[in-house]
Structure 1
Amino acid sequence: MPDIDEVELLESLDGQVALVTGANRGIGAEIARRLVDLGATVYAGSRSRENETPEGSERVLLDVTQEGDVEAVVDGIHEEAGRLDVLVNNAGVGEFGEDIVAEPTSRIDRTLAVNLRGPTIVCKHAVPLLIQREGGRVVNVSSGMGALGEGMSGGSPAYRISKTGLNGLTAYLHGEYRDRGLMANSVCPGWVRTGMGGEGANRSVEAGAETPVWLSRFAPGSPGGEFWREKERIDW
């Protein structure tokens, strides 16, 4: 594995295709916007046709809890573009504070469906396109709240468990497909001022998008199967 200082980044994504889930607002919209600026054809997923996505992106109806949506979007990308180079699993939900006894079962079900089952189903359908060429990238937007070594206390069990599972998906993709040129990485964007993070968060949307976009620019042979924060490896 190359030293992080030696990671080669693609200067341009001209000719490449990206799919970003949850791309109509917050971190997802900023990631999609920057990938467009880098020259990629960006399919920006949104759960509603009414939502705006960044200028220059291709808005697609995508609720990651609905496999029919996922299948239709990936099939559409295959038909229109014939390739997929970057998948950013950004769509997520989170409500915070209560312990597992107090957290409503409906919230547990919803959180796991969006944050863990959703990315797993998206990967199920997108991986065949991603491994057609060496250098496909999966960027899973996770959280330090899901890292086993960071305490796992303070409530929010469904959110924490969903992000631990998302890191597990990253590790699986790396183990299964690295020999076919796929680079899968997880990233903690930090506490970001979004609808989920709230106005009291200490990081801007622009700062939160920085490392996911950086991972999206990894050239073939770059690290995979890692968890990142501010462009540095962190413990799972």
Structure 2
Amino acid sequence: MGIETYDSLDGQVALVTGANRGMGRHIAERLADLGATVYAGARRPDDVTSDDCRPLQLDVTDDEDIEAAMARIRDEHGHLDVLINNAAIGGPDEALHEANPDGVNRALTTNLRGPMHVTRCALPLLLEREGARVVGMSSVMGKFSDEMERGGSPAYRVSKTALNGFTAYLDGEYGDEGLIANVADPGWVRTDMGGNDAPRTVEEGIETPVWLARFRPDAPSGQFWRDKEPIEW
């Protein structure tokens, strides 16, 4: 598939949520290496250690944090070219009838409500630029196919299914205005969430979302990607 991408993001502005560790930190650093001005969103901005990124107070479950973060980007740049909705948590592994309701609520709030409200507040900045990109971090666990039939982790699975649907909505609602919205499955990655037994390195996990962040205007939108290939939802 011949998709045109930016070789350099010089002059562009990016926001990565959950950028203090794991894939979020590595995505933020990679985008900075490509020349972007990168805001590294984190609940504790002091945890952002990269000298090439701008720490930004951003708890995706806190509406005041979200609004303040967007106000800062608007004041400093007036636009946003790339939003990576990376911040996410796991959830109870048990079947729904056995799952702790607080754990279910936290997973849904962080993994679905968070990206929706961050994107909602970011849209005025994103739509200032033709071909701005929104990239969600999903999972094949959220597919409607055989993955969903395996059960377990109900809140995490459903939150990722809904994130895929939200991505399709963004494309349908704002695609004609130039927004490019896609979602990526990084695979099972060796992070704090994925654990040491995961087969993929962080570098392998971030390859597709970073690639999606480099899409030029008129690139594919509203799709679910793994290893730079579209997959069924």
Matched, 1:71 2:67: yes
Q: What is the aligned partner in structure 1 of residue 220 from structure 2?
A: 223
2:4 to 1, 5, 8: 8
Aligned residues: 232
1:41 to 18, 37, 48: 37
Matched, 1:174 2:185: no
**C-alpha distance in structure 2 between counterparts of 1:151 and 1:117, whole Å:** 23
Q: What is the aligned partner in structure 2 of residue 115 from structure 1?
A: 111
Task: In structure 1, list runs of 5 or more residues that go unmatched.
Answer: none
**C-alpha distance in structure 2 between counterparts of 1:121 and 1:52, whole Å:** 22
User: 5 Å matches for 1:47-86?
Assistant: 47-86=43-82
Residue 52 (structure 1) shift: 2.3
Residue 103 (structure 1) shift: 1.0
**C-alpha distance in structure 2 between counterparts of 1:55 and 1:202, whole Å:** 29
Residue type of the alignment partner of 2:87:
A
Contact conserved, 2:92 with 2:99, CA < 8 A, in 1?
no
1:70-107, CA deviations, whole angstroms, 9 ceiling, x for partnerless residues? 00001100000111000000000003531111111000
Residue type of the alignment partner of 1:228:
W
Q: What is the aligned partner in structure 2 of residue 165 from structure 1?
A: 162
Runs of 4+ in structure 1 deviating by more than 4 angstroms, as ranges, are: none
Contact conserved, 1:33 with 1:55, CA < 8 A, in 2?
no
Residue type of the alignment partner of 1:37:
D
Matched, 1:105 2:82: no
Q: What is the aligned partner in structure 1 of residue 87 from structure 2?
A: 91
Q: What is the aligned partner in structure 2 of residue 201 from structure 1?
A: 198
Residue 49 (structure 1) shift: 3.1
Q: What is the aligned partner in structure 2 of residue 24 from structure 1?
A: 20
Q: Give the TM-score of the pair, scaled to structure 2.
A: 0.98
Contact conserved, 1:7 with 1:218, CA < 8 A, in 2?
yes
Matched, 1:124 2:100: no
**C-alpha distance in structure 2 between counterparts of 1:115 and 1:136, whole Å:** 22
Q: Give the TM-score of the pair, scaled to structure 1.
A: 0.96
Task: In structure 2, list runs of 5 or more residues that go unmatched.
Answer: none
**C-alpha distance in structure 2 between counterparts of 1:163 and 1:197, whole Å:** 15
Residue 113 (structure 1) shift: 0.4
Matched-pair identity in %:
56
Q: What is the aligned partner in structure 2 of residue 211 from structure 1?
A: 208
